[in-house]
């Protein structure tokens, strides 16, 4: 749709253009006109000539000032009458002078031309042409009232009236041209700004890191895609809300207070153009919509906005992987320094005694058994570490075949028969799962081994199985020490062990359940736990039922 040029003009641009036109010519003209008036007066002319000049200057100044304010505010806060009335008064005054100074000979219709020009520049088309037409009529009126409406004055009357009218139209065309020019300049500028804005938005959207910006009162303005995914909250859910309420952060000891929030603290900082975004704050956790804690670093800095005010820009980086690696390194160091060293020291001690020949007979046999058990523990730990590395590398491979469940479980239970006699199995025969027999043995070995390890001696362990839709559900239930509720969701993570001293005094790596759960997942199944401290735990393994191809 075509827009009228005036509807979209930018007041400041118009003001600049008119200002540029008026300053070099307008001021000398006014001074010249005023000087000429004084000169004419001193030379004996009617003092009213000064009044006319002052009034003319005032008209032009008032007209252009009104125009400037109108344009700058982009609206018509002044009625056009405010400009038109002084202009029309000037027209009438000039007419009066023309009449008293001899009509057409007075040449004052020239003043009417000037006035038409001001009208054309200051008002919109219909007003400008109206005032132009009035000027043209006044030229004819001057001729009539001074008895000069005759053939000898004909050309002057005709040229004068046409000139007065056309000057209003011409000046109005200039005004329209200036407005259109300003408009297209502004359109270009707006277009450039929009392109620039789109580029910035595209860059922010493509960032891997979360990015948020706020206004000067800490209300969220931008919230990129990465942050939507990380925090589980969409931009439309957080827009306009206080940053510390939607970008919830925690340290190890709990959620951050408003005053501790990096974005809130950054708001009180001073923005220094070109200064790098602040040092990232580490050891922080982002609290997601589901109340999950994600390890993050947050860099926040003041962000320039309108005038002197500033908001905040913050970059949130998910460092779960890095923190996971560093935790794994710590866990590995503690594993090597304690869990691996203990059986090794034992083995070496017993082996030394045997080598010295200091012990004989039954005692020597006992030592040999200790050496065998310690070495077996070492072998298991090394095996678990290697399997973890294979899982981490995404290289856990299954050799899937039909596995008859009761056979598999009985084989595993058999292996524990030496250490306990209290395992009770109720596995219906005829259930077969689709799986890797060797890896599944590892899973049940770990679960049954844990049940024995974390229960009082000879406390009952019940293993049962049932079919649920397309899955076999095998449960391993003990009446042992149980697992603290807050630990239950973490025990399938690497190196997780209960801090309970009943657990800590027993050997273990915290890798068994991680491996078992990863094996179950690789089968398309799962392992879950229900437990209450002091009364025991039940682990449930779900595996896909075997279907004849
Ligand atoms: P490990 O037994 O070598 O410590 P796991 O990964 O097998 O490692 O088990 C992780 C942790 O889960 C254990 O350290 C223990 O705290 C807890 N846990 C596992 N099974 C049981 C169970 N049957 N009863 C009580 N706690 C258990």
pLDDT tens digit sequence for 423-439: 999 999 989 999 999 99
Centre of ligand 1 to C-alpha 535, Å, is 15
Residue 536 CA: nearest ligand 1 atom is 24
Q: 251 CA to middle of ligand 1, Å?
A: 27
Q: Whose CA is nearest to atom 14 of ligand 1?
A: 497
pLDDT digits over 128-168, tens only?
Answer: 999 999 999 988 988 888 888 888 878 778 878 888 888 88
- Residue to mutate, 479, 508, 516, ligand 1, most ligand atoms under 8 Å from C-beta: 508
At residue 62, the pLDDT reads: 64
In the reported structure, the alpha carbon of residue 497 is separated from the centroid of ligand 1 by a whole-number distance in angstroms of: 6
Ligand 1 centroid–CA 518 distance in Å is 15
β-pairing verdict for 423-426 and 461-468: parallel
**pLDDT surpassing 50 at residue 41:** yes
Write the pLDDT tens digit of every residue in 99-123. Answer: 777 776 655 666 777 778 878 877 8
Q: Please report the atom of ligand 1 found closest to the CA of residue 506.
A: 4
More confident residue, 21 or 456: 456
Beta strands in 73-196 (DSSP E): none
The closest residue, in CA terms, to atom 16 on ligand 1 is 498
Ligand 1 centre distance from Cα of residue 502 (Å)? 11
Q: What is the spatial distance between Cα 435 and Cα 519, in angstroms, rounded to a whole number?
A: 10
Q: Whose CA is nearest to atom 8 of ligand 1?
A: 510
Strand blocks (E) in 305-387: 310-318
Q: What is the DSSP string of 518-539?
A: HHHHHTT-EEEEEEETTTEEEE
Centre of ligand 1 to C-alpha 450, Å, is 6
Query: Which atom of ligand 1 lies at the shortest distance from residue 480's CA?
Result: 24
Q: Which residues pair with 301 in a beta bridge?
A: 313
Residue 377 CA, ligand 1 centroid: distance in Å: 16
Percent of the chain with pLDDT over 70: 83
- Residue-wise pLDDT for 505-519, tens only, equals 888 889 999 999 999
- The whole-number average pLDDT for the span 319-338 is 80
Ligand 1 atom with least separation from CA of 455 = 24
- Which of the listed ranges 36-40, 265-269, 446-450 does the model predict with the highest average pLDDT? 446-450
Query: What is d(CA 97, CA 109) in angstroms, rounded to the nearest whole number?
Result: 9
- Of all atoms in ligand 1, which is nearest to the CA of residue 539? 23
Measured in degrees and rounded to the nearest 5, phi and psi for residue 150 equal: -135, 180
Cα 19 to the center of its chain, rounded Å: 43
pLDDT over 60 at 470, yes or no: yes
d(CA 323, CA 295): 7
CA of 471 to the centre of ligand 1 (A): 25
Residues 6+ positions from 415 with CB-CB distance below 8 Å: 445
Q: Whose CA is nearest to atom 20 of ligand 1?
A: 450
- 224: helix, strand or coil: coil
Q: How far is the CA of 510 from the centre of ligand 1 (A)?
A: 7
> Which of 497, 514, 531 most suits a substitution to test ligand 1, by most atoms within 8 Å of the C-beta?
497
Q: What is the CA(533)–ligand 1 centre distance, in A?
A: 13
Atom from ligand 1 closest to the CA of residue 510: 8
**Mean pLDDT score, 8-24:** 55
Q: Is the pLDDT of residue 28 over 70?
A: no
**pLDDT on residue 267:** 81
- Ligand 1 centroid from CA 459, angstroms: 16
Mean pLDDT of all residues in 328-341: 79
The residue that leads in pLDDT, 40 or 164, is 164
Residues 244-273, mean pLDDT to the nearest whole number: 84
What does 455-511 look like in DSSP terms, one character per residue? S-TT--EEEEEEEETTEEEEEEEE-SS---HHHHTTTTSTT-----HHHHTS---S-
- pLDDT value, residue 4: 42
| Ligand 1 center to 509 CA (angstroms) | 9
CA of 337 to the centre of ligand 1 (A): 20
> pLDDT tens digits, residue range 65-103?
656 665 555 545 456 777 777 778 777 877 877 777 777
pLDDT tens for each residue of 189-243 = 888 999 998 998 899 889 999 999 999 889 999 999 999 999 999 999 999 999 9
pLDDT at 160: 82
CB 42 within 8 A of CB 50: no
Testing ligand 1's pocket by substitution, the residue of 334, 387, 450 carrying the most ligand atoms inside 8 A of its CB is 450
pLDDT at 547: 86
Q: Which neighbouring-strand residues pair with 462? A: 424, 477
The ligand 1 site (C-beta within 6 Å) comprises: 446, 450-451, 454, 478, 480-483, 491, 496-498, 503, 508-514, 537
pLDDT in tens, 370-417: 899 889 888 888 899 899 989 988 899 999 999 999 999 999 999 998
Which of 343, 387, 416, 513 most suits a substitution to test ligand 1, by most atoms within 8 Å of the C-beta? 513
Please tell me the predicted confidence (pLDDT) of residue 5: 43
* 3 state DSSP class of 45: coil
Residue nearest to ligand 1 atom 7, measured at CA: 512
Range scoring the smallest mean pLDDT among 90-104, 287-301, 339-353, 425-439: 90-104
pLDDT value at residue 21: 54
pLDDT above 60: residue 271? no
How confident is the model at residue 1, as a pLDDT? 36
pLDDT at 265 over 90: no
pLDDT of residue 272: 54
Q: Which residue has the higher pLDDT, 125 or 81?
A: 125
151 Cβ partners below 8 Å, 6+ apart? none
* Overall average pLDDT of the 438-454 stretch: 95
Q: How far is the CA of 443 from the centre of ligand 1 (A)?
A: 13
Atom 11 of ligand 1, nearest CA residue = 497
pLDDT averaged over every residue in the chain: 83
Measure CA 175 to chain center.
45
45-60: pLDDT as tens digits: 666 666 666 766 666 6
């Amino acid at each position: 749709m075509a827009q009228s040029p005036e509807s979209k003009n930018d007041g400041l641009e118009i003001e600049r253009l008119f200002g540029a036109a008026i300053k070099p010519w307008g001021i000398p003209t006014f001074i010249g006109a005023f000087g000429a008036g004084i000169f004419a007066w001193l030379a004996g002319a009617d003092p009213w000539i000064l009044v006319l000049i002052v009034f003319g200057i005032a008209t032009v100044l008032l007209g252009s000032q009104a125009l400037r304010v109108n344009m700058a505010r982009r609206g018509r806060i002044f009625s056009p009458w405010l400009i038109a009335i002084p202009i029309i008064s000037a027209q009438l005054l000039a007419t009066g002078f023309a009449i008293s100074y001899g009509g057409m000979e007075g040449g004052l219709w020239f003043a009417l031309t000037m006035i038409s020009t001001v009208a054309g520049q200051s008002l919109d088309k219909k007003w400008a042409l109206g005032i132009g037409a009035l000027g043209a009529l006044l030229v004819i009126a001057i001729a009539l009232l001074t008895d000069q409406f005759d053939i000898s004055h004909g050309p002057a009357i005709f040229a004068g009236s046409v000139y007065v009218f056309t000057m209003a139209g011409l000046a109005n065309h200039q005004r329209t041209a200036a407005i259109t020019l300003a408009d297209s300049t502004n359109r270009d500028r707006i277009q450039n700004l929009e392109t620039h804005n789109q580029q910035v938005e595209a860059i922010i959207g493509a960032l891997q890191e979360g990015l948020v910006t706020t206004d000067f009162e800490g209300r969220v303005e931008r919230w990129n895609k990465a942050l939507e995914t990380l925090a589980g909250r969409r931009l439309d859910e957080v827009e306009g809300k206080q940053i510390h309420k939607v970008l919830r952060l925690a340290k190890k000891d709990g959620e951050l207070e408003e005053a501790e929030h990096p974005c809130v603290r950054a708001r009180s900082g001073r923005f220094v153009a070109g200064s790098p975004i602040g040092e990232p704050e580490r050891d922080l956790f982002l609290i997601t919509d589901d109340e999950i804690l994600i390890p993050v670093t947050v860099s926040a800095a003041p962000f320039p906005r309108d005038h002197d005010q500033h908001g905040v820009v913050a970059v949130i980086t998910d460092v779960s992987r890095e923190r996971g690696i560093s935790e794994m390194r710590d866990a590995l160091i503690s594993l090597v320094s304690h869990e691996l060293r203990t059986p090794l020291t034992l083995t070496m001690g017993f082996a030394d005694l045997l080598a010295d020949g200091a012990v004989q007979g039954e005692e020597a046999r006992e030592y040999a058994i200790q050496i065998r058990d310690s070495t077996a523990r070492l072998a298991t730990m090394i095996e678990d570490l290697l399997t973890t590395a294979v899982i981490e590398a995404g290289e856990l491979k299954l050799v899937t075949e039909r596995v008859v469940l009761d056979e598999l479980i009985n084989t595993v239970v058999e292996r524990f028969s030496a250490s306990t006699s209290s395992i009770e199995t109720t596995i219906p025969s005829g259930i077969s799962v689709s799986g890797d027999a060797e890896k599944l043995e590892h899973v049940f070995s770990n679960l049954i081994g844990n049940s024995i390890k974390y229960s009082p001696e000879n406390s009952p362990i019940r293993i049962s199985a049932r079919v649920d839709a397309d899955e076999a559900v095998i449960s391993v239930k003990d009446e042992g020490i149980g697992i603290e509720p807050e630990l239950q969701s973490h025990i399938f993570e690497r190196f997780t062990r209960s801090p309970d001293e009943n657990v800590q005094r027993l050997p273990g790596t915290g890798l068994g359940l991680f491996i078992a759960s990863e094996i179950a997942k690789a089968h398309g199944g799962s392992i879950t736990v229900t437990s209450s401290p002091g009364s025991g735990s039940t682990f449930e393994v779900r595996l896909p039922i075997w279907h004849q191809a």
